[in-house]
Chain A
C-alpha cells in the first residue's frame, strides 16, 4: 500500500466506522440458529462459534485502529522521532506516516469518538437515533465481550453436548452476545436501555435453561425481577439525562456525547446540582441491580442455576459488567452528581465498598464452588463500582478488563471440575476434593485464575485492583483504600479455601474412583446428577466411558489455557508503568487509550486524579493478600487453629448462621417487603370490593327490583301483554326458521362477518365511486 492509502485508512478507519456490524452478526446468527438449528443438530453450534469468531476479528481490528487513532492525535505532543518509532512498534508495523502539518492540527488531548447513526424514529420534533459510538471505553468492552463469548461458545460445544435444548442454548447465547454488543456500541441512552433489557431477557432465558426443575426457573425469575427493581431507577435516571442535556444546551437529547458534555458544563457552573444528583442516584440504582451491588446482589448467586458456561459469560463479559459500563459511559453525571472530586465519602463509593466486604464475607460459607465464585464476583464488582466512586475511572475499567479474563477462567475451570471430575455436582464439601491428581491441567489453570483474583504480584488482578486502591488513596478516599486492602485479604483467604476443598485432601466424590466400573454405584451417580442438571446429565450417561474423575477434553481445556494466559498477560498492560519501563511503550498506556480527555468528559489528567506510583501500595496489597492466604493455609492444610470452632463457640456459630442465611436479605425481600405490601394491598382491594363496589351493585339491584315490580304490576300486566305475546310468537317462528344458521362454529361466524364486511365495503365503494 502507498502512504496515501494508508493515510486515507487513518482518516476513515474501516473497522471503527463499520462497528455496527459487530452487534449485527451475532443477531443474525441467533436468527439462523433458530431457523435451521434443529435440522443441523450439534453442528448448529458452529454457526454461533463462527459468527462470534468473525466478530472477534472485527473487535480486535477496531481496537488496533483505535490505538492508531489515539496515537495520531496524541503523537503530536511527543517528540516526533520517538513517537513514530513507538507507533510503528505499537501497531505491528502498520504505523501511519503522517505529514507534519496534520500532526500539529491534532495537538489536543481530546480524541473524538467515531459516531455514526441513523434515525430510528421521530415524533413531535424529537429525533431518536440508533447508532454507534466507538471510543476507547467501547473498544475495551468489545474486545472483552467478544473474546469471552468466543471462548464460552467453543467451550459449550463440549459442555452442553447432548443437552435436550442444545439449539436453543446456542441461539440464546448468540442473542446474549448480540444484545451486550448492541449496548456497548450504543450512542444514546435509549438504545443503551434497549440493549440493557435484552441482556436481562437473555440472562433470564439462560439461567432458566433447565427450567424443568423449580429452583432453576425460580432463580431465573429472581434474576429478572431483582434487576427489574434496579431498572426502575435506571429508567428514571435515563429520563433525567434528557433533562440534563436540556438544562445545559436548551435542547433535550439522549445522545451520550451531549449528555456527558452537558453534565460537565453543569458541574462546572455548579447549577442544577440536585438534578445531577438524582439522575446519578437513579442510574446508580440500575447499576446496583445489574452489577450485583449490595443490597440488590441476591440474584447473582442464585443465577448459578444456569449452565456453567453461561455463568462465566454473565459474570465476566455480559450482564453484570453492563452496570459498570453504564457507570463508566455517563461518568460525568456521576462525577458531578456525587461530587466525586471532593473526596471523603459518596453514595457510589459507599455502595461499592460495602459490596466488596459483604460479598467476600459470604464467599467463606459456601459449599457450592460456583457460589464461591459468584460472591467473589459480587465483591470484585464492588471494587469496580467503588473505583468509579472514587474517581479511578480507567482503573475500574482496567479491573473490568482483567477480571473478565480471570473470572471466566475460574468459572470455566469450575465447570471443567464438575463436568469431568464430580459427576456434574458443584458441591465442594461432599463431591470434590483431591482432584489435583486427576485433573492436573484444570488445576493449573484454576491456580492461575485464583492467583489473579487474589491479587498475587504480577498476576492480572494485582495490577488492576492495586490501581483502584492507589487512586482511591490519592483522591482522598483513604478509608476505601484500606477497605479494599482488607477485601483483598479476604479474597485470598476464601479462594485458598476453595482450592483446598476442590483440589486437595481426599477425593470425596459421589463414587470413589476405585469402584469406577461396578454398576452398583450407578444410582449414586444419578443422584448426584439429579440435584443439578436433570436431563442434561441423563443424556450424558452413555457418553462417559470412564465414570471416575478424569481430565476434561480439548474444547474445555483450550479456553482455560487462553484465559490463564490472559489472566497473566492482561495485567502487564500496567506493569511497565510500575517498573518505570516506559520505553516498552506497547503496554504502557491503558488510561491514555481509553480516557477521552478534553472538555466533553472528565479530564482525569488535568484534574490530577492519576496517582503517582508509590511502593507502599503494592506492598500493602501483597501483605494483605499474603495474610489472607497464610491464615487460610494454616487453617485448612495445617489445621493450626480454631478447628470446629463454630461447634464450640456460640457467638461464632451465630455469626456463621448469619452468613449462611445471607444476612437474611432474602427473607427480608420475600417475607417482609413482598409479604407486607402484598397483604395490605389484597386486604384493601377486598374491602373496596365488599363495601364499595358491592354496595353500589346491591343498591342498583334494589332499585331495579322495585322498578321491575312496578313495571310488571302496572304496565305489563295491565296493558301491553298482547303485543309481546304476538312478538314472541313471531320471534319463535323466525328463530325456528333461522336456527340452522346458528352452527355454533366460531370460525363459521367469522366467515359470515368477513363476507358481510366485504359486501359492505363493496357497497360503500360503489357509492363513493358513483359520486
Chain B
C-alpha cells in the first residue's frame, strides 16, 4: 500500500476545495467546495486508517460524513434564507456585518 498516492490526491482535492471557497461567486458552489475539502479530509482518515490497519480511521470518516450531511442541511437553509432576503446568491452581497 502506498500512502503517498492517497495523501497526494487528498491534497489536490483539498486545494481544489479551498480554491472553490475563495473564488466561487455562488453560495451553493462555495458549499460544494467545502464538501470537497471534507472529502479530502475523509480520504486522509481512511488512508491513514488503512495504512495503520486501524478501523478507527474508517469510523471517523463515517462520523465526518454524517456531520457533513448535517452541515449541508444547515448551509442550504442559510443559503435559501439569504436568497429570500437579498435576492442574490453571491457571497459578496452578504456584507451586513461590514464594519
Contacts and interface: CB of A to CB of B under 8 A. Distances in A.
Instruction: Answer yes or no: do A and B interact.
Output: yes
Interface of A: 123-124, 735, 738-747, 750-751, 754
Given A747-B23, A750-B21, A751-B22, A123 B55 contact: yes
Nearest to B22: A747
B95 to A, nearest CB: 3
Nearest to A736: B99
Given A123-B55, A124-B55, A754-B18, A747 B99 contact: no
Given A123-B55, A123-B58, A750-B22, A739 B99 contact: yes
A747 B98 contact: no
Interface string B16-38: 00100111000000100000000
Contacts of B21: 747, 750
Contacts of B95: 743-745
Contacts of A751: 22
Contacts of B53: none
28 contacts: A123-B55, A123-B58, A124-B55, A738-B99, A739-B99, A740-B99, A742-B98, A743-B95, A743-B98, A744-B96, A744-B98, A744-B99, A745-B95, A746-B30, A746-B91, A746-B92, A746-B94, A747-B21, A747-B22, A747-B23, A747-B30, A747-B91, A747-B92, A750-B21, A750-B22, A751-B22, A754-B18, A754-B22
Contacts of A744: 94-99
A124 B21 CA distance: 36
Nearest to A743: B98
Contacts of A739: 99
A41 B27 CA distance: 32
Contacts of A735: 99
A751 B21 CA distance: 9
Given A123-B58, A747-B92, A742 B97 contact: yes
Nearest to A735: B99
Given A123-B55, A744-B97, A747-B92, 12 more contacts: A124-B55, A739-B99, A742-B98, A743-B99, A744-B95, A744-B96, A744-B99, A746-B30, A746-B94, A747-B21, A747-B23, A747-B91
Nearest to B21: A750
A744 B94 CA distance: 7
Nearest to B97: A744
Contacts of B18: 754
Contacts of B99: 735, 738-744
A212 B21 CA distance: 33
A92 to B, nearest CB: 48
Nearest to A747: B22
Contacts of B94: 744, 746
Q: Which of A741, A742, A743, A746 has the most CB of B within 10 A?
A: A746
A123 B50 CA distance: 11
A635 B18 CA distance: 73
A741 B21 CA distance: 19
Interface string B71-97: 000000000000000000001101111
A754 B96 CA distance: 22
Contacts of A738: 99
Nearest to B25: A747
B9 to A, nearest CB: 17
A431 B30 CA distance: 51
Nearest to A123: B58
A750 B91 CA distance: 11
Contacts of A750: 21-22
A705 B55 CA distance: 49
Contacts of B97: 742, 744
A84 B91 CA distance: 76
A269 B98 CA distance: 76
Nearest to B58: A123
A741 B99 CA distance: 8
A743 B94 CA distance: 10
A310 B55 CA distance: 45
B41 to A, nearest CB: 13
A739 B99 CA distance: 5
A124 to B, nearest CB: 7
A508 B92 CA distance: 60
Contacts of A747: 21-23, 30, 91-92
A746 B94 CA distance: 7
A568 B97 CA distance: 75
Nearest to A124: B55
Nearest to B18: A754
A762 to B, nearest CB: 16
Nearest to A746: B91
Contacts of B58: 123
Nearest to A121: B58
A738 B98 CA distance: 11
B54 to A, nearest CB: 12
B92 A745 contact: yes
A576 to B, nearest CB: 58
A743 B91 CA distance: 12
Nearest to B24: A747
Contacts of B91: 745-747
Nearest to A750: B21
Nearest to B95: A744
Contacts of A742: 97-99
B34 to A, nearest CB: 10
